[in-house]
Amino acid sequence: MSDDDLKRLLDDLQAKKLKLGAAVLPVEFRKDAATFNEGLAKLPGVAAVLQKAGVARMSTYIMSAHQELTYLQNFRQHAARLREIAVILKDHGSNLGWSTLAPHHLAEHAHPFIHSLSETQELIVAIGTGNVGVQLDTYHWFGTEEAAEDILSLHNEDVITVDLNDAPTGRTIDEQRDLERELPGATGVIPIQSFLDSLMKIGYDGAVHAEPFNAALRAKPLDEACALTAAAMKKVLGLKSLKS
């Protein structure tokens, strides 16, 4: 977009009481060095555009196992690469957060890796740039069997973004699958109220997204899917329905 086009977009969003939330990190840091370096070279340009649009938060995820690298090797690689990313984002006034992946089937590799909030905090300390934190996701929070107290150990500035969803019924935690979820509050399997209460107590002021990964929802017409998602979000956030 040109500067004028971007201004028109932002003015239109503001008039509708909307604003842009978090962006997805466009750098693939989990694979080989060439792939990482290619993405890293493009990041300053992306970060500059997002800064102009007022987007100051980026999110990504960390795989919970690796087929070749040991825990320590993987930790050092993540710390080094995420530090390079974080330095670029800091130059553009942006923060980076990531979620760890809880479902057990994702850890079926030779070497387990970070999958808990405490381990994530160790990686944040190792990076040490001051603009990295966590992406809290109800599904992964539930899958790692963490509690409200774990969220209460954080501060507002530690939480970069938040994803809300629910889990299918009739499955143990071990049987849950990463891309098979429900809309927030749909089943009640995940104790979303205590999750949100904890966020309120630490004063979280960032974006909250729905992330159901639900095939039935995805198959619906766009307007219907948006309406169902909006209704679910209003329900769990305690908002009244908006009048058209």
Residue 80 forms part of a structural domain: yes
For residue 106, pLDDT beyond 80: no
The torsion angles phi and psi of 17, rounded to 5 degrees, stand at 60, 40
Q: Which two tokens stand for residue 98?
A: 């990531």
Identify the domain containing residue 67 by its residue range. 3-9+16-237
Residue 109 forms part of a structural domain: yes
Q: What is the CATH number of the domain that holds 111?
A: 3.20.20.150
Nearest in space to 97 (alpha carbons), one of 126, 148, 136, 150: 136
Confidence of residue 115 (pLDDT cuts 50, 70, 90): confident
E strands in the chain = 23-24, 57-62, 65-66, 95-100, 111-112, 132-137, 159-164, 208-210
Instruction: Print burial letters for 19-36: b (CB count within 10 Å at least 16), e (below 16).
Output: eeebbebebebbeeeeeb
Residue 243 forms part of a structural domain: no
Confidence of residue 154 (pLDDT cuts 50, 70, 90): very high
This prediction's pTM = 0.90
Residue 244 forms part of a structural domain: no
Nearest in space to 102 (alpha carbons), one of 115, 84, 117: 115
Residue 210 forms part of a structural domain: yes
Over the stretch 160-169, which tens digit does the pLDDT of each residue have? 999 999 999 9
Residue 232 forms part of a structural domain: yes
State percent of the chain over pLDDT 90. Answer: 77
Least confident of 73-77, 103-107, 122-126: 103-107
Residue 231 forms part of a structural domain: yes
Across 112-119, average pLDDT? 88
- Count how many domains the chain has: 1
